[in-house]
Amino acid sequence: MKIIKRSGTEVDFDITKIMNAVTKANNTVKDEAKLSAIDIRAIGENVENHCKKMNRALSVEEIQDLVEKEIMRHGAFEVAKRYIEYRYTRSLVRKANTTDEQILTLIECNNEEAKQENSNKNPTVNSVQRDYMAGEVSRDITKRILLPPDIVEAHEAGIIHFHDTDYFAQHMHNCCLVNLEDMLQNGTVISGTMIERPHSFSTACNIATQIIAQVASNQYGGQSISLTHLAPFVQVSREKIKKQVREEMREIDAAPSEEVINRMVETRVRDEISRGVQTIQYQVVTLLTTNGQAPFVTVFMYLNEAKNEREKADLAIIIEEMLNQRIMGVKNEKGVWITPAFPKLIYVLEEDNIHEDSPYWYLTQLAAKCTAKRMVPDYISEKKMLEYKVDKTGRGNCYTCMGCRSFLTPYVDEEGKPKYYGRFNQGVVTLNLVDVALSSGGDLEKFWKVFDERLDLCYRALMCRHNRLKGTLSDAAPILWQHGALARLQKGETIDKLLYGGYSTISLGYAGLYECVKYMTGKSHTDDAAKPFALKVMQHMNDRCKEWKEKENIDFSPYGTPLESATYKFAKCLQKRFGVIKGITDKSYITNSYHVHVTEKIDAFTKLKFESEFQRLSPGGAISYVEVPNMQNNLDAVLSVMKFIYENIMYAELNTKSDYCQCCGYDGEIQIIADESGKLIWECPHCHNRDQNKMNVARRTCGYIGTQFWNQGRTQEIKERVLHL
């Protein structure tokens, strides 16, 4: 059995430390108030038994709370008082310097929480450690100085989650849609160097990867680019290559027909597209940005975004190459082809590619093959998105999300044209819906009262995020604000005008709808009797966001939070506040957003159809998934799911498995088992290798693929996922 120290280090549970602490407090009181040695032993054993029942590693603070309760349960109130006084004195000492011990454990790589904080960051790497160290300082400043005490307290208690406190001290936003078209067509500046419009497709791809790295280093969330913005440069290369071919033919006195010349040109164009796409794939995977990880980038593939048929045909070639290279994967250190985490791919299902007789059906077949092998692309239904994302002119819009699932709201510029790229999200604060339900005790009237109080808290926390960005000078991130990624502001100009009127969004996250509804109604939200309450909860968040928007002229938007490490934090906080409640708080995780619980048996089509109603009520971001077995030999089934997505739900993905054991070469599914202490670990079912450094595991974490393993809460959630197909 393990415990988590304040520094984040994981150590074995030691009952003698509890007994020693109680004994010290016991020795300071009069004889008549003292506990006996038998009582002290009983206190230690009771705490130990409670920890075992929790089925997870408790923190030192949680264990000390249990000790206090046990001392008082024995009627030794004077001893309890001394114990509490000692805890308080030690907390004052810690507050004098809140970061030293945390930073030292980061450097020595024995901070268990840091190891599992981000499933795409390797905490043993210097650049990651440096980012985490800076993050500790930022968290400390944020909690002590920048945020109101009640918001900090609510965050610590798991009532809300104030995302990315490790970056809040700086004037940084969350995620964005990069205006790659503007930067490539009109030029940009990178590190003080003018970058002009590229004269070939391969150069455009190279510049794009440099832009991606620069953007990633100036924000903390995901970014998206569209392959459509690269498509015009295929024709640039085609014309350039055609000129070269003609010159070569003249030099050898050859006079091939136009048809032959065109075939030669297209062969070379294809070769250049292959090199350009390879540049994007390998640069993204191998680049390390200032936060110590590969850029969290999404690549959007939408045929109908092309401006004309020539561009669409060229875009199709790029998409085909992108899918083929992703199917191949990338080589690990052993030279074995594996699944990379990034770039994330999104493929739009549309009339031109969704039917067998559609002109680009072959691309959809290729996408299905890629999904079965490498877990991407994810799928957006143009049909449903045009229905959901309607702007003020009444026009439907189809565009990419900003990262794992965060969507902008439709926006129309001064000329009445829709604008997607160059826009961004200001940040996220997530409400723990399970805590709202439990705080109400199951009383419906009290539930709505508590819900509104917590929403008001979220509103104030979101305004802290907004006000932190207000007044930010464009000089803080020239690539973003001055050189086209998001805007072309003047030096010394603030970004304030981009924070209002719907140009950017700010997200009210939510988590645990399933557990919230289950506690209040006694049923899963998939039950017809409970579903109306679930939809009412969702609508209420939308209504409140609308009120805030009208008040502040800021686009507040409900967002289905992709909890990663916070799922474990919320679960631990709920257990601490309310105990272990069967079916509600008896897991080391809570359910993401509106999702059906991972253990609930439901088929893929029913799940997607059910969740589509909740996606509509989560305009700030939502994604649904279906868990599937190895589908590489059943692509027809994958295509059936894709067709269903097109007709029924805006944004969805298929979760497959893609693992490799470096010890024995096993390339099936690496298993999750409990070790001797009860801790969940990864083990190769073939050679029983348990060394995470000698295996490659890729799992969908919460909208994107993670490859650096996860905390105990997320690991339990992954282990308990049932198949939907």
Give the whole-angstrom CA distance, residue 498 versus residue 504.
Answer: 6
Label residue 248 exposed, middle or buried (CB < 10 Å: 0-12, 13-18, 19+).
Answer: exposed
Give the whole-angstrom CA distance, residue 562 versus residue 223.
Answer: 15
Indicate the Cα dihedral angle 562, 568, 569, 572, nearest 10°.
140
Residue type, 513: L
Give the whole-angstrom CA distance, residue 103 versus residue 5.
Answer: 14
Least Cα distance to 22 among 7, 34, 10, 4 occurs for: 34
User: What's residue 95's pLDDT?
Assistant: 57
For the chain, the distance separating the N- and C-terminal CA atoms, rounded to the nearest angstrom, is 36
Q: Is residue 127 annotated as part of the catalytic site, yes or no?
A: no
Give the whole-angstrom CA distance, residue 370 versus residue 316.
Answer: 16
Q: Which two tokens stand for residue 182?
A: 């503007």
User: What's residue 707's pLDDT?
Assistant: 74
Q: Is residue 703 annotated as part of the catalytic site, yes or no?
A: yes
What sign does the CA torsion over 157, 159, 165, 169 have?
A: negative
Least Cα distance to 299 among 386, 207, 403 occurs for: 403
Inter-residue contact 11 to 19 (CB < 8 Å) = no
User: What's residue 138's pLDDT?
Assistant: 82
User: What's residue 100's pLDDT?
Assistant: 62
Q: Is residue 175 annotated as part of the catalytic site, yes or no?
A: yes
C-alpha angle 266-272-275 in degrees, rounded to nearest 5: 145
Please count the other Cβ atoms lying within 10 Å of the Cβ belonging to residue 450: 19
Calculate helix-pair angle for 126-141, 100-107, nearest 10 degrees: 170
Q: Is residue 669 annotated as part of the catalytic site, yes or no?
A: no
For residue 510, what are the β-bridge partners? 431, 560
For residue 59, what are the β-bridge partners? 4
Give the whole-angstrom CA distance, residue 386 versus residue 363.
Answer: 21
- SS3 state at 654: strand
- Which candidate in 26, 202, 425, 474 is catalytic? 425
Distances (CA, A) of 693 to 108, 109, 284: 17, 14, 22
Label residue 183 exposed, middle or buried (CB < 10 Å: 0-12, 13-18, 19+).
Answer: buried
Give the whole-angstrom CA distance, residue 663 versus residue 695.
Answer: 8
> What average pLDDT does the chain have?
91
User: What's residue 126's pLDDT?
Assistant: 66
Residues found in the chain: 725
- Which candidate in 220, 302, 559, 625 is catalytic? 559
- Residue 502 backbone class (left: φ over 0; alpha: ψ -120 to 50; beta: rest): left
Q: Is residue 564 annotated as part of the catalytic site, yes or no?
A: yes
Which residue's entry shows tokens 């295929």? Answer: 234
- SS3 state at 225: strand
User: What's residue 56's pLDDT?
Assistant: 78
Which residue's entry shows tokens 């003047």? Answer: 490
User: What's residue 83's pLDDT?
Assistant: 87
CA atoms within 13 A on the CB side of 155: 21
User: What's residue 291's pLDDT?
Assistant: 59
Q: Is residue 559 annotated as part of the catalytic site, yes or no?
A: yes
Residue type, 524: S
- Which candidate in 224, 353, 406, 593 is catalytic? 406
- Which candidate in 10, 321, 564, 627 is catalytic? 564
Inter-residue contact 465 to 401 (CB < 8 Å) = no
Give the whole-angstrom CA distance, residue 472 versus residue 24.
Answer: 53
Q: Is residue 663 annotated as part of the catalytic site, yes or no?
A: no
What sign does the CA torsion over 597, 603, 606, 609 have?
A: positive
Inter-residue contact 468 to 171 (CB < 8 Å) = yes
Inter-residue contact 389 to 672 (CB < 8 Å) = no
Peptide bond into 685 cis (omega under 30): no
For residue 425, what are the β-bridge partners? 505
Strand duo 344-349 + 297-301: pairing: parallel
Strand duo 555-560 + 505-511: pairing: parallel
pLDDT of 701-725, one tens digit each? 766 777 777 778 888 998 999 999 9
User: What's residue 137's pLDDT?
Assistant: 78
What is the DSSP code string of 145-175? IIS-HHHHHHHHTTSEEETTTTTTTS-----
- Which candidate in 175, 322, 370, 458 is catalytic? 175
Inter-residue contact 303 to 353 (CB < 8 Å) = yes
User: What's residue 26's pLDDT?
Assistant: 92
Neighbour-count burial for 501-530, b at 16+ CB within 10 Å, e otherwise:
ebbbbbbbbbbbbbbbbbbbbeebbbeeeb
Alpha helix (H) residue ranges in 218-350: 232-251, 258-286, 309-328
Q: Which two tokens stand for residue 429?
A: 């604060």
- Which candidate in 111, 122, 174, 179 is catalytic? 174
Q: Is residue 421 annotated as part of the catalytic site, yes or no?
A: no
Least Cα distance to 606 among 532, 527, 535 occurs for: 527
Instruction: Tell how far CA 720 is from the center of its chain.
Output: 20
- Which candidate in 205, 398, 404, 541 is catalytic? 404
* Residues lower than pLDDT 50 in the chain: none
Neighbour-count burial for 368-399, b at 16+ CB within 10 Å, e otherwise:
bbbbbbbbbbbbbbbbbbeebbebeeeebbbb
